[in-house]
Amino acid sequence: MGSRQLPGSVIVISTADWTQSGWTNNQHMAHELARQGFRVLYVESQGLRSPTASARDIRRILRRLRKGLRLIRRVEPRVWAYSPLVLPFYRNPWIRRLNWAFLGSVVRLLAQLLRLQNPILWIYNPLAHELMGSLGESLTVYHCVDDLATVPGIDARLVVPAELATVNKADVVFTTSPSLQVRLAAIAPKKTHYFPNVADYGHFSKAQTPGALPGDLAAIAAPRIGFIGTIKDYKIDFDLIEQVAQARPEWAWVLIGAFEVAAPEALRERFSRLNVHFLGERPYAVLPDYLRGFDVVTLPCLLNDYTRSMFPMKFFEYLAAGKPVIATPLPALESYRGLHAVCSTAGEFVDSIERMLAGELGLEKQAMIAAAQENTWEGRCRGMLERLQETWDSR
């Protein structure tokens, strides 16, 4: 018997807003699903932690209110984004039920307006198991890209049982790191599949071609040691960066990304007398221009419960840019050791960077680029759809 065609629409319940500059797996997959012919309703983050009185959280709330009042907006030819208005009291079970009931009613209405028939429900937020079975979905995917229970500020007492319910109820489960795969496959081995994060090769390979550098980067003297990604306390090893910067003051560290740390001014002051530059967020479209100006790119990650389950999206983006990569020993990158340098201490970082700058480390640029070409969002999405098709056909 031949294959039945998958339904042509997808509802994505995300953990990230569409407009944030550093795209996550959430936006990339929605974009690629649309490129491959699906109509996509992208439901932006519903929140996983209670907001604080910080200026950053207040700005987020105000942005969400402005976007939420618009109900729905077309962000790409086949993608529509909706910013849900939720009450941010996640520990209260009555508030959670009210939020999910309201969100479900709005999503059902939007699906009718967009004529999304028998959609595939694609979940990133495990708390969204409350919606499963209520949206007329034909298939449900749980796409696990982080160990959310280990993120500071998120209540593990809510996330852990919610994820268990989501895995048990989903038709297909995708994971992005070996650690996540082992944990979730222990719950549902037959329907859990490992697909690591990948990169938009066509976009980031632009860094391989000559071109002008952004003015703020050009003003910083080379050699430049780069990092691109959200700057968070529980991800970045600031002690490591400080020690390397002190050991080699002639090297300029350039970090690009949203500054989401507990004490931003104190951190800036800590590095103010070192050759370390925090440039802030930059639009996704210009990130290859910044990568072009880096001599070495880094993943100076802390090793903790969160990062042990993380597959950094920047890895293949760095490879696509053709830049030598140095990283702390992240478990998810263990099988890619031949494509990057792995260092645990500041001394090892200094030694490897010196050898990279001298072209003596032995990493083969063509092998790095070939690996990036083989790990694209187009190929990753196609592989996932094959798994969905197998599940669909077996029904």
For 138, the domain range is 9-198+376-393
Mean predicted confidence (pLDDT) in 175-196? 97
Residues 140 and 256 in one domain: no
Query: First vs last Cα of the chain: how many Å apart?
Result: 12
60 has a pLDDT exceeding 60: no
58 has a pLDDT exceeding 60: no
What is the tens place of the pLDDT at every residue in 117-131? Answer: 999 999 999 999 999
pLDDT band at 339 (very low <50, low <70, confident <90, very high): very high
Residues 141 and 227 in one domain: no
Q: Is 118 helix (H, G, I), strand (E, B) or coil?
A: coil
CATH number of residue 205's parent domain: 3.40.50.2000
Phi, psi of 120, rounded to the nearest 5 degrees: -80, 130
Mean predicted confidence (pLDDT) in 136-158? 94
Nearest CA to 13 among 156, 132, 128?
A: 128
Counting the structural domains of the chain, the total is 2
Asked, for residue 3, whether it belongs to a domain, the answer is no
Which residue has 């077309």 as its token pair?
74
Residues 232 and 185 in one domain: no
What pLDDT does 67 receive? 56
Asked, for residue 2, whether it belongs to a domain, the answer is no
What pLDDT does 1 receive? 47
Statement: the pTM of the whole predicted model exceeds 0.85: yes
What is the tens place of the pLDDT at every residue in 264-279? Answer: 999 999 999 999 999 9
Q: What is the mean pLDDT of the chain?
A: 92
Residues 359 and 389 in one domain: no
What is the tens place of the pLDDT at every residue in 263-322? Answer: 899 999 999 999 999 999 999 999 999 999 999 999 999 999 999 999 999 999 999 999
What pLDDT does 86 receive? 74
38 has a pLDDT exceeding 70: yes
What is the tens place of the pLDDT at every residue in 8-22? Answer: 999 999 999 998 877
Q: Which structure tokens are listed for 310?
A: 């993380």
Q: What whole-number distance in Å separates Cα of residue 182 and Cα of residue 189?
A: 9
Mean predicted confidence (pLDDT) in 183-204? 97
